[in-house]
């Protein structure tokens, strides 16, 4: 076993640095996750976007994966001193100036209610709102795409009204349809695959969010603004 791997095998579980509103933790031997520890908001995401642009230029970086107020950094080789790398990331975070991505505005036609709104009643019970109030609050919102992930083309959308917050299910739906309009915690999105899903469905969108044969396979991109337009309301 070489020295670098030996060194990583001992402190990797305990190495975690927290400073200036961010925390860095190792993910295996060559990857590090920086998480913003402040509010889950657009300001934090803008700093993540700025950090991404800076870190992707580092010569020892193989890949970066921006997430929801976090950034995964994968190195080309295992670092000899993981703590030094963690400190370097925190210093880059400290100096990252907020930027905004110039995205598009995307309107998505939605059928609210109907056969795919399998969790609308539970959301009403939790919130104390009527189904029409939940639907209205949702489509009156303006959402920003913070990141893509989980499945190809799935956009994590920020901007959900706290009144219709709904925690993710402890037991996921086993066969939720592609296109279901979902809420998971303080996020909303459109399912891009049919299969198990722990988010809560309140409607359905016909638009295919990911087309592998297209020149731009994903409909959404980080920085885009999304509006949901009620094509019909079936309550």
Asked if pLDDT for residue 25 goes beyond 60, the answer is: yes
Within 10 A of 170 (CB to CB), how many other CB atoms are there? 6
Domain boundaries, the chain: 3-95, 105-234
> Which pLDDT band, with edges at 50, 70 and 90, does 98 fall under?
confident
pLDDT digits (tens, 9 = 90+) for 161-173: 999 999 999 999 9
- Span 146-197, pLDDT tens digits: 999 888 899 999 999 999 999 999 999 999 999 999 999 999 999 999 999 9
100 contacts 222 by C-beta, under 8 angstroms: no
- Reference 164, options 196, 197, 186; nearest CA is 186
Residue written as token pair 């592609």: 178
What CATH number was assigned to the domain covering residues 105-234?
Answer: 2.40.100.10
- Can you tell me the distance from the alpha carbon of 134 to that of 136, in angstroms, rounded to the nearest whole number? 6
Q: What is the DSSP string of 129-160?
A: --HHHHHHHHHT--EEEEEE-SSTTPEEEE--
Confidence at residue 16, expressed as pLDDT on a 0 to 100 scale: 66
Sign, CA dihedral 80-86-89-94, equals negative
Query: What average pLDDT does this structure show over 211-233?
Result: 94
Quickly state the pLDDT bin for 40 (edges 50, 70, 90). Answer: confident
| Contact present, 12 and 33 (Cβ < 8 Å) | no
| Residue environment code for 25-64, b if the CB has 16+ CB neighbours within 10 A, otherwise e | bbeebbbbbbbbeeeeeeebbbbbbbbbeebeebeeeeeb
Please tell me the class of the 3-95 domain. alpha beta
């Amino acid at each position: 076993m070489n020295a670098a791997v030996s060194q990583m095998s001992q402190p990797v579980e305990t190495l975690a640095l927290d400073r200036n509103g961010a925390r860095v933790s190792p993910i295996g031997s060559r990857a590090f996750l920086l998480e913003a520890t402040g509010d889950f908001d657009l300001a934090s995401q803008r700093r993540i976007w700025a950090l991404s642009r800076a870190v992707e230029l580092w010569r020892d970086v193989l890949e970066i994966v921006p997430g929801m107020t976090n950034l995964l950094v994968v190195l080309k080789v295992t670092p000899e001193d993981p703590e030094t790398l963690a400190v370097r990331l925190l210093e880059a975070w400290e100096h990252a100036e907020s930027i905004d991505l110039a995205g598009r505005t995307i309107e998505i036609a939605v059928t609210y209610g109907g056969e795919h709104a399998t969790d609308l009643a539970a959301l009403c019970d939790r919130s104390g709102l009527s189904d029409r109030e939940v639907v209205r609050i949702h489509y009156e919102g303006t959402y920003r795409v913070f990141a893509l992930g989980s499945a190809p083309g799935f956009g994590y959308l920020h901007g959900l009204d706290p009144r219709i917050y709904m925690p993710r299910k402890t037991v996921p739906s086993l066969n939720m349809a592609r296109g279901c309009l979902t809420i998971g915690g303080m996020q909303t999105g459109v399912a891009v695959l049919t299969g198990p899903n722990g988010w809560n469905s309140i409607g359905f969108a016909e638009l295919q969010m990911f087309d592998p044969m297209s020149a731009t396979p994903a409909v959404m991109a980080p920085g885009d603004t999304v509006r949901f337009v009620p094509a019909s309301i079936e309550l």
